[in-house]
Amino acid sequence: MGRLAILGALHEEIADLLAAMDPGAETRRIAMRDFQVGTLWGTPCVIALSRIGKVAAAATASIVIQEFGVSRVLFTGLAGGLHPQVRVGDVVVADALMQHDMDARPLFGRHEIPLLGRERFDADAALSALLLDSARDFAAKGGLPGAAAQPRVHHGLIATGDIFVNDNDLAHDLRQRLPDALCLEMEGAAMAQVCHEFGVPFAVMRVISDSADHAAKTDFTDFLVNLARLYTAGILKPLLQS
Ligand code: ADE
């Protein structure tokens, strides 16, 4: 199967995975990032902190593909809910990703990636199906200890841009423009573009930390500090062990 890359934008989003790596993992430092190479719950992995944003995600994806020869790339972390059906605590697995801030009009269509002739990048169906199964099992067991409601698991479009959306008007505009987008984040579609260009399968799993509204900064920070790590391990451990 080859080595799996697991990427996250902030330390809290991958901290539990780094801590759970089997003994013997090694660190390689490339382009101001640490890449932890070893096995996680028996699966050969390289785990890295990309940092936030599209450029950081694209650089990190290129490195794991070119330097570590990974066979699949998984990006995980938090996202702001956009679709009315998506609530804080839910899990979203991408079926495709797009860059909501790409706008090279009038040279190219709105959201079109110039010279690639496409707006969307499809996630790998097999890896996404494993993530969905594992997320549904996690949700069926009640999700987080003490959680008020069972999280729901969604499969659909994730929209990426270099904007932390903390503004009701911008969220409203994005909802109108992208009615099928489930959530917003800042890395997935950039990693997806790089993987597409290299022909490497990829998937994205996000947990909803906020509603991309005026309270997003506070909600995001609370979720990041208190809850993010419980989801990642809760969903990925059974998947990697299977
Ligand atoms: N990631 C988590 N919440 C987000 C938001 N509101 N906007 C962009 N990325 C996010």
What's the ipTM? 0.99
Q: Please determine, for residue 193, whether its predicted confidence score (pLDDT) is greater than 60.
A: yes
Average pLDDT of span 213-232 = 89
Give the long-range contacts of residues 59-63, CB within 8 A, separation 24 or more.
Answer: 59/31, 60/7, 60/33, 60/191, 61/5, 61/7, 61/190, 61/191, 61/194, 61/195, 61/202, 62/194, 62/198, 63/30, 63/31, 63/33, 63/35
Cβ of 158 closer than 6 Å to ligand 1, yes or no, is: no
Assess whether the C-beta atom of 45 lies below 6 angstroms from ligand 1: no
Ligand 1 centre from 184 Cα, in Å? 6
For CA atoms 220, 74, 238, 180, give the dihedral sign. Answer: positive
- The protein residue whose alpha carbon is closest to atom 9 in ligand 1 is 185
Whether pLDDT at 143 is above 70: no
207 CB under 6 A from ligand 1? no
Mean of all residue pLDDT scores within the chain: 94
Atom 8 (ligand 1): residue with closest C-alpha? 164
For a pocket test of ligand 1, which of 184, 206, 225 has the largest count of ligand atoms closer than 8 A to its C-beta?
184
Mean pLDDT of 17-45: 96
Q: How far is the CA of 212 from the centre of ligand 1 (A)?
A: 6
Average of pLDDT values for 63-88? Answer: 97
Q: How far apart are CA 201 and CA 196, in angstroms?
A: 7
Ligand 1 centre from 42 Cα, in Å? 32
Quick check: 148 pLDDT over 80?
no
Q: What is the predicted pLDDT for the residue at 147?
A: 60
For residue 208, pLDDT beyond 60: yes
170 CA → ligand 1 middle, Å: 12
Residue 163 has what DSSP assignment?
-
- 87 pLDDT exceeds 90? yes
Residue 227 clears pLDDT 90, i.e. is over it: no
* pLDDT score recorded for residue 221: 94
Q: What percent of the chain is modeled with pLDDT above 70?
A: 98
Is there an atom of ligand 1 within 6 Å of 224 CB?
A: no
With CA atoms as reference, report the closest residue to 97 among 202, 13, 236, 216: 202
- Apex 137 CA angle, 227 and 236, nearest 5: 55
pLDDT tens track for 149-184: 789 999 999 999 999 999 999 999 999 999 999 999
